[in-house]
Structure 1
């Protein structure tokens, strides 16, 4: 057998960079297509953040009083992403805000490729970008007008800055502090990943500095803390940090359910990252260029890098298991996998082997991740079509009425030119003093308010607040105040449902 020629893939040449960028462009186009194929009217969270952004913007520009204290229950600062979303919404509507999320997610994938290429090589960078780009969370958040996409982009930017400055002056790592602190401000749950950035700053520089690399970690940690302190002083009280993040109310979801779903949404990429970490710990290179063997980093550094990056993928599932709640887990899984993706890309490269011996294995991993991501994203993006509902409500609402609506954020967003935020009552909680002089709370409050004819219109479908829906139906029995005015069926991944609208006679 003739000797096999050495591969140039492991060398950062002009040709390899060009091929890598062309392949990355294809990956980004596929990612954009997968996100843009999702369709739907505004989801409850999207409507909430964009609508609040309009009120926050009016408060900043004109001093208008806020209808409610959004900072008291938002899981991100209401004057950051919501304001940006409102500006875009004013010019380009909901589609424009969703496209902004797509740009954030495409940017995160591009930064992921760049930092992985610097950590390892272009082949691993392409593997990381390819796997991350087809995850369910990546696809969904690329067409979802919430602050998750912005937070992921900022974390990716901070991680890229940490890796990019590994050979620069120790204080150059402070370039990662602003995007890291801003990521926390945009979405408080991003704070879970700030320690990973600090540790990464030490590990990436240890090869060149030894123990002096600790200075980088201390500098980055201090920089982030200082910026967060300044931001907290300037922003004032932020009750949403405790109510949505640090002291969130515990739910009833089981650990087994959340582990199962986490495995469905990111298990393949996590296993690839785990395999990449083990392979990297055992051997720094695949042997394509054996003469470079002496230039690799030490085993303990390689082990630490694999543990930190791969282990970060477990943070969100572990924390939500602690809280017994699966709310937003399908999105939060993607935050951790952003950090695990470099090791997953390396794992894919090791599967393929030196000189592309087994390309079918890498293709199989990518195709499986793609298929699972497409199917799961389509299921997760299935929410009520509110087109007919909001069109009908436009004919019956005005600036004077009071309205009860399940997911009230959706009609409040679409009808903000005809109603104010405070005119809409949600279906989660209510205190009400009835006409009989008694004080009611919870379902009893909704039941009595309907009996008294408090609301000028009622919009319910029963999927979000079944207990309240049952109480409202009891209040409507033999009730001469209301008539059923319209029923608008819709279909989601959970089956057939319908909006029911009652209006006051």
Structure 2
């Protein structure tokens, strides 16, 4: 101690009477009940947000690394959007009734995506989907944090961000990304207003209805939203939560009925969702595919639900012990609701017998199971990060699966760039064309041709020159015999049976000549056990075959 410090130090006065005690030079501070800050403090909030930003950056990198030309669904929605934009801005009538077979309103997402595509191209439309998926992950963190805590929210976001459905939809120009974002936003509103008056939940009504309008399959998750409205408010409002759930249900039903009144949306819902044709994919195969794409996260969510039912306390700090926990029954109902929701898409596709879009639809249910998966991951790590290696191993497994499955998905269709360059000089606004995936050339060559000029290999009706009507395979044979099409593009795997019919009808046909064989490699398939497709690739070598009319 320096001489200056000694001079300035305050010395307690000496005792004035014998036996009098000198005053203490310092006092011990009061010991806090916890050695760390409670949940909700400023430092903890900003650290959580920083980690969330890192997770969003990782999600962006995983999606942006994917690359391929437009998939037929992407090309279809963008082509429809350009047609709707032309109708809105220039009054150009659309020759195709998209509302009759779209699984979402053609006036919503396709128009937005086409506007972006007009300025930034396909990569811009795909980046739009990435923004929606990043918003979905952010909302997932927020309402999981509200339901449980920051750690569970970060764990849920970390798992959801690397799932193959999330990664693929984040760079896939279809209406799934905005529909999922709207479902997440409706869920966030419901969870965020759990202590507010019952009428506050009505803010979620237009958001949920808009999600259904963007993609009709989102309606499958409306009962889950109503259940969340009840269960999240019950610990705070008791029986009043029933009125909250009823308000949400009646408001959503009323707005949906109003939206369908006087429009053809109901016909579109029936044709593409509720009354669509059943496929031939077996239940075992569909369940196996679902387990591959979402089984790890689902099992983690089930484990989290069981752990949450057994022990509700989510915080390690003693400051949280006096908080009121939901009852065991409420916890059990919440866990059952969220885990069961993850099974809705696989169950419905088993009912339909088709795996079409299953790789995307499974992500809808995982959004609702993710909060419990976050709980499961945090409970696996343990209090005070007792077993971090277990959590790291689980997340690393999810990451590896997500990367491999996303790469396989984006490699499941051929690169069409060479094909488009080859046929661009042979199409115009007057011809009729046949293609395995007509949406792709219709999108890339929209300045030269219109969508109605292209026919697909999935069903056809044709009236020949003798006024005889043909359907199915006979329609293709009759049309080729009459030289109906000016150009034909087959890829050998989109519809192998019809491709065989067309190839045989073209063999020796004097009206057509073979223009090109363009190899594109052997795309990966969801049904690797398909003997027919394997035989086709052995025969055709995985290439586009292009014929032109002589």
TM-score by length of 2: 0.89
- Structure 1 partner of 2:528: none
Contact 1:352–1:358 (CA under 8 A) maintained in structure 2:
yes
- Give the Cα–Cα distance (whole angstroms) in 1 for the partners of residues 308 and 349 of structure 2: 30
CA contact (8 A) 2:131 2:170 kept: yes
Superposition pairs of residues 404-419 of structure 1, within 5 angstroms:
404-419=434-449
Shift of 1:436: 4.4
Q: Tell me: CA distance 1:9–1:202, structure 2 relative to 1, closer, same or farther (3 Å).
A: farther
Give the drift of 1:453. 1.1
Note the C-alpha offset of 1:234. Answer: 5.2
User: What is the distance in 1 between the residues matched to 2:93 and 2:51?
Assistant: 50
- 1:74-102 deviation per Cα after TM superposition (whole angstroms, max 9, x unaligned): 00001000111111111111110000000
1:54 aligns with 82
Name the structure 2 match of 1:503: 548
Offset at 1:280?
A: 0.5
Residues 269-311 of structure 1: per-residue CA shift (max 9 Å, x gap): 1011101100110111256234633421211111111111111
Choose 1 or 2 for highest CA Rg: 2
- Residue range with higher mean Cα deviation, 110-119 or 456-465: 456-465
CA contact (8 A) 1:352 1:359 kept: yes
1:421 equivalent among 451, 455, 478: 451
1:347 is matched with which residue? 376
Higher alpha-carbon deviation: 240-249 or 280-289: 280-289
SS of the equivalent of 1:284 reads coil
- Partner residue of 2:329? 300
1:13 to 19, 41, 65: 41
Partner of 1:493: 524
8 Å contact kept, 1:10–1:288: no
- Determine the C-alpha separation between the residues in 2 that align with 1:8 and 1:199: 35
Cα deviation, residue 467, structure 1: 1.8
| Distance (whole Å) between structure 2 residues aligned to residue 177 and residue 286 of structure 1 | 30
Q: CA deviation at 1:56?
A: 1.3
Query: Aligned-residue CA RMSD in angstroms?
Result: 1.5
Aligned to 2:259, which of 231, 235, 253? 231
Matched, 1:206 2:206: no
CA displacement at 1:246 relative to structure 2: 0.8
Q: Secondary structure at the match of 1:151?
A: helix
Does residue 96 in structure 1 map to residue 124 in structure 2? yes
Match among 43, 54, 60 for residue 26 of structure 1: 54
Unaligned runs of 5+ in 1: none
Q: Deviations over 1:153-177 (max 9, x none)?
A: 0000000000011111111111111
Q: Does 1:128 align with 2:159?
A: no
Task: Give the equivalent residue in structure 2 for 1:449.
Answer: 479
1:166 aligns to 2:203 (yes or no): no
Does structure 1 conserve the Cα–Cα contact (< 8 Å) formed by 2:149 and 2:315? no
Contact kept? 2:149, 2:314, Cα under 8 Å: no
Q: Secondary structure at the match of 1:394?
A: helix
Distance in 1, Cα, partners of 2:333 & 2:265: 38
User: 1:92/1:234 Cα in 2 relative to 1: closer, same or farther (>3 Å)?
Assistant: farther
C-alpha deviation, 1:61, in angstroms? 2.6
Instruction: Please say if residues 8 and 16 of structure 1, whose CA atoms lie closer than 8 Å, have aligned partners that are also in contact.
Output: no
Aligned-pair CA distance for 1:409: 0.4
Distance in structure 1 (CA, Å) of the matches to 2:172 and 2:100: 23
Could you say what secondary structure the match of 1:264 adopts? helix
Instruction: Confirm or deny that 1:474 pairs with 2:519.
Output: no
Per-residue CA shift, 1:20-67, capped at 9, x if unaligned? 101101100110000011100000000000000111122223332211
Residue pair 1:443, 1:467 contacting (<8 A) in 2 also? no
CA distance in 1, matches of 2:251, 2:466: 59
1:365 to 389, 394, 410: 394
Whole-Å separation in 1 of the counterparts to 2:518 and 2:504: 21
Task: Indicate if the aligned counterparts of 1:408 and 1:425 stay in contact, CA closer than 8 A.
Answer: yes
- Show the counterpart of 2:4: none
Question: Gapped runs of 5+ residues in structure 2?
Answer: 1-32, 526-536
Give the alignment partner of residue 143 of structure 2, picking from 101, 110, 115: 115
2:408 paired residue number: 379
Residues in 2 aligned to 1:153 and 1:363: alpha-carbon distance in whole angstroms: 27
The residue aligned with 1:316 is: 345
Identify which range, 222-231 or 31-40, moves more after superposition: 222-231
Aligned length, in residue pairs: 501
Asked if 1:75 is matched to 2:106, the reply is no
CA distance in 1, matches of 2:78, 2:357: 18
In the alignment, does 2:364 pair up with 1:335? Answer: yes
Helix, strand or coil at the partner of 1:104: helix
Using a 3 Å threshold, how does the CA distance of structure 1 residues 237 and 364 change in structure 2: closer, same or farther? closer
When structure 1 is superposed on structure 2, of 237-246 and 75-84 the one drifting more is: 237-246
Q: Secondary structure at the match of 1:248?
A: coil
Query: 1:7–1:355: 8 Å Cα contact kept in structure 2?
Result: no
Measured after TM superposition, the shift of residue 209 of structure 1 is: 0.5
- 1:458 corresponds in structure 2 to 488
Tell me which residue corresponds to 1:440.
470
- In structure 2, what is the Cα distance between the partners aligned to 1:68 and 1:422? 6
Q: Normalized against structure 1, the TM-score is what? A: 0.97
Cα separation, 2, equivalents of 1:20 and 1:287: 15
